[in-house]
Structure 1
Amino acid sequence: MGRPARVTVVVASRDRRHDLERSLPRHEGPVILLDNGSTDGSAAAVRRRFPRVEVVELGRNLGAPARNLGVRLAGTPYVAFADDDSWWAAGALERAADVLDAHPRLAVLAGRVLVGPQERSDPVCADMAASPLGREPDLPGPSVLGFLACGAVVRREAYLAAGGFDGVVFFFGEEERLALDLAAAGWGLAYVEDVVAHHHPSPSRDPRGRQVLAARNAVLTAVLRRPWPVVARTASAAARGGPAGRRGLWEAVPRLPAALAGRRRLPPQVEAARRSLEAPGGGHGSAGQAAAETVNE
């Protein structure tokens, strides 16, 4: 009798049937698909072609928070996220589970993401590897305050205790607020280079739309957790960011009441760590923010 699975793969998708048909066969272990109100027959196609995949039809687009339901449904201590156009390398999830078993304070294992057929390392990975936060003795790699969702394996109990992804940010760059809250609760987040995910970005992605979301969500994340001077700088940067930045700032406005209702200042040590990532030589600020600045994530 084989060893019980320790990692469940959770995929959130909307109208990406063809991407799912390419990626789902590559996943190892149990898989839960959250269908965010697809109209292209994704759910039925997956049930027909991949009966081992647990399909949950949400009936509407819940964005990144759809993953929260998948994490709650998972029967394993760890959960690996994947996009409909990404998958984990063979053996990667067993390696991730071993690392998480050995490091009980680790809440997020941020793996290396190889992009496209050329398998080039996502630039965010170099930033995480060179993190100025250093390496804590009880963690397996450099400490980070962000991650790429499609390259992350999380400790289920820590993720749920932190509330998972939230509906204020909704989608794109959703990782940063969660990373900050996990750090505030005393959990560790670390980059582990030998845990590898593959990401072949879907041709249906909208680069300009993602630039708008990046600007919007940077402002909202700042309102949720950062000091007011940081909020002001972030909003100013969006206003100076051309049409996409200004559109993102405008789209943040109707979400501000919810962001203000959920506002909570970070502990001083976490805010100081976050500021160190914004200093010259600190990289992109955080992996979540860096992801929001690229069209590949």
Structure 2
Amino acid sequence: MKNFEVNTPKLSIVFLNYNRIRETRYTLAQLSRLFEGRDDVEVIAVDNGSTDGTREFLQTQADWARVLSLPSNLGIAGYNEGFKQAKGDYLLVLDDDSHPVDNITLDRIIQCLDTRPDVGVVACRIESLKGEPIYSWHLPQNDAPGTSMAFVGCGFAIRRTLFEEIGWYPTDLFIYQNEIEVAIRVMRSQYKIYYDPNCRVVHRESPSGRTNWRRVYYETRNTIWLIRRYFPFPMAAYLIGSRLFFGLIHALQSLEFRGYYRAVLDALHTPIEPQVLSPLLRQQLITFWRQNSVWHQLLARF
């Protein structure tokens, strides 16, 4: 196994780990397979204050992967510590339960960002272990290569300098909707997000460590924060009302009323500096609009 210290990487693979040691082991096994024989890739594993043995296991891999151990769970801000340590021109961002399918994926990411100066982010195709596509509203529904509104956080690549310029992941969100915030910042920086279905990342979608209250609280709060920041009145009022309704339905389904109540208070009372998007950029976010519109969701269902 190569020592990471001798690498001069083109691509830095960064993934965040939190109390899912089984998934961490699997991901590192897959990455080590790809890592062999390459001198243009480095792996950075960040532990987000795990208490299940993940931190200790990662230290046993420190001969070939760069390991960062954080004292507590910082949410998505934990990623930023890994990004800051990266040496590659480009960052491939994974979850602890996701991994690239093959070296073709890594090669295509590097080639795209090397040859397309207009592209800031490469959005990967997200698959199951069986190779079946995992559909997400963040990506083109026709599974064809081209410009995308956003990307999925468990599998995308971004120019390191661009990510640094736009402030890395937004630390105030903690979890959920960080992809949309970054996508908006990328578009405002005049870069494109390019979806390449041949850049393939497996997402094993482990439910471990994912709690209902977090989804109710952070998805409701963070989405309303984005709406308040980027959309003008009366559009914002309609979308906020829609999002409150969706959050309430989710709270009813999961019996997480306290989290919903807190989300509403924090979503509406936290000061937000408006940065209203131009009509052109709002048009590029039409899928986000439809995803958070009661009317469009009812039409999609019926």
Q: TM-score range by the shorter chain?
A: 0.7 to 0.9
State the 1:253 CA deviation.
2.8
Q: Which has the larger radius of gyration?
A: 2
Summarize deviations over 1:42-92 as a string: whole Å, max 9, x none.
Answer: 122111145312111121221112222212211010000110011011111
Distance 1:239 1:276, change over 3 A: closer
Q: Distance in 1 between matches of 2:229 and 2:44?
A: 29
State the 1:160 CA deviation.
1.0
- Where structure 1 has 5 or more consecutive residues not aligned to the other structure, the ranges are 136-140, 286-297
- The equivalent position to 2:151 in structure 1, one of 147, 151, 155, is 147
Would you say the 8 A contact 1:168–1:259 is kept in 2?
A: no
Output the amino acid matched with 1:275: I
1:62 aligns with 2:66: no
1:38 aligns with 2:50: yes
Partner of 2:127: 114
- The equivalent position to 1:198 in structure 2, one of 191, 202, 217, is 202
Would you say the 8 A contact 1:106–1:189 is kept in 2?
A: yes
Higher relative contact order (Cα pairs below 8 Å, separated by 6+ residues) = 1
Matches within 5 A, 1:225-240: 225-240=230-245
1:244 aligns with 2:228: no
Partner of 1:223: 228
Partner of 2:110: 97
Partner of 1:288: none
Query: What secondary structure does 2:60 align onto?
Result: helix
**How many residues are paired up?**
270
Distance 1:196 1:64, change over 3 A: same
Please, what TM-score do these two structures have when normalized by structure 1? 0.81
State the 1:210 CA deviation.
5.2
Name the % identity: 21
State the 1:17 CA deviation.
1.5
Would you say the 8 A contact 2:220–2:244 is kept in 1?
A: no
- The equivalent position to 1:123 in structure 2, one of 123, 126, 135, is 135
Partner of 1:291: none
Q: Distance in 1 between matches of 2:260 and 2:229?
A: 16
Summarize deviations over 1:204-247 as a string: whole Å, max 9, x none.
Answer: 14363454132222112212322243332233123323353574
Q: Distance in 1 between matches of 2:289 and 2:158?
A: 25
Distance 1:278 1:203, change over 3 A: closer
Would you say the 8 A contact 1:7–1:76 is kept in 2?
A: yes
Q: CA RMSD in A?
A: 2.7
Please, what TM-score do these two structures have when normalized by structure 2? 0.80
Matches within 5 A, 1:255-270: 260-261=272-273, 263-270=274-281
